[in-house]
Structure 1
């Protein structure tokens, strides 16, 4: 039996290894951040309050990324000037907030997603399918719901976060999120009146 030289087998072995490895582009950034934090926290025997801090940071980052992307989408697709203006405001302010959150997460050694997770991507995709006032109404309904949840979470964490810097971050951005919620409600009221 004839032996195949190793130099011919190496490319096939490498190709097989690449084919068998998991495709990192299909990984969910939010799930990856949660996994990294759980692993770090588990290794360090950290308290439940610190786990809650990390979870808050992941949720705030993933929500913030979605707010920016949906704000950009609203600037392109919205039927009303008020919705376009609201989207522009959301994209700009949440981009600033995201930058501050990412800097704090790096400082604290907390992993946060750098891209939309699967759930956020699905929400984005659903909105891209809508047009006209239907888009505006659905987008604003989501913004009211999302910001109401954000206000509640940031309010809780401004008092209950284990880490003082995370408490400070939540307290600093709570008024901004309350302002966003008010703006979302006012814009939603304007759009609801249209036929």
Structure 2
């Protein structure tokens, strides 16, 4: 009974936030998750399909974060290897992002339209750094993000309920592994910078 009341209260709070007229204060990632959960609830979709939708939302948010951080690195990085890596990432993530958007449209999955609050904080925090500190923190953040990506895409390439989503994850898993390997190499180059 208590659990049901907590869930109902949480749902009402989310609904109030999602229906709030002031869209500038809404978190795009949370909003996308809420819209997908609402559709999933209305259509009586299985937990596996819900997991697929969550993967799509998280992948879109993570991709936008990596893209924003890499655009920032193209401007602020002082190490040529970091700038080159960031440029490569911007180009290759654009292709993956377009594929993700196309698949989400086909599956009627709502994706975030901007960075979530925590993600925006990461961009701001990194933007406040300069020189070697920026290069090191950018590479650390990108390596960590790609480790998460590889785990997530690896899981979904095997476990996604929807075959198209499984195929998408399998298609981009080798690309993400390559990004991670390159990122770790560049990270090794900058770790001793002062």
Report if TM-score (shorter chain) is over 0.5. yes
1:1-195 superposed matches below 5 A: 22-195=21-194
> In structure 2, the residue corresponding to 1:67 is in which secondary structure?
helix
Counting matched residue pairs gives 175
Shift of 1:114: 1.8
Give the unaligned 5+ runs of structure 2.
1-19
Shift of 1:91: 1.1
Bigger CA radius of gyration: 1
The 8 Å contact of residues 70 and 91 in structure 1, kept in 2 or not, is answered as: no
TM (normalized to structure 2)?
Answer: 0.88
The 8 Å contact of residues 74 and 87 in structure 1, kept in 2 or not, is answered as: yes
Counterparts of 1:194 and 1:46, CA distance in 2: 51
Shift of 1:147: 0.3
> In structure 2, the residue corresponding to 1:43 is in which secondary structure?
helix
Aligned position for 1:4: none
Give the unaligned 5+ runs of structure 1.
1-20
The two structures, once aligned, show a CA RMSD in angstroms of 0.9
Aligned position for 1:10: none
1:113-158 CA distance string (max 9 Å, x none): 1211111111100000000000000010011111001000000000
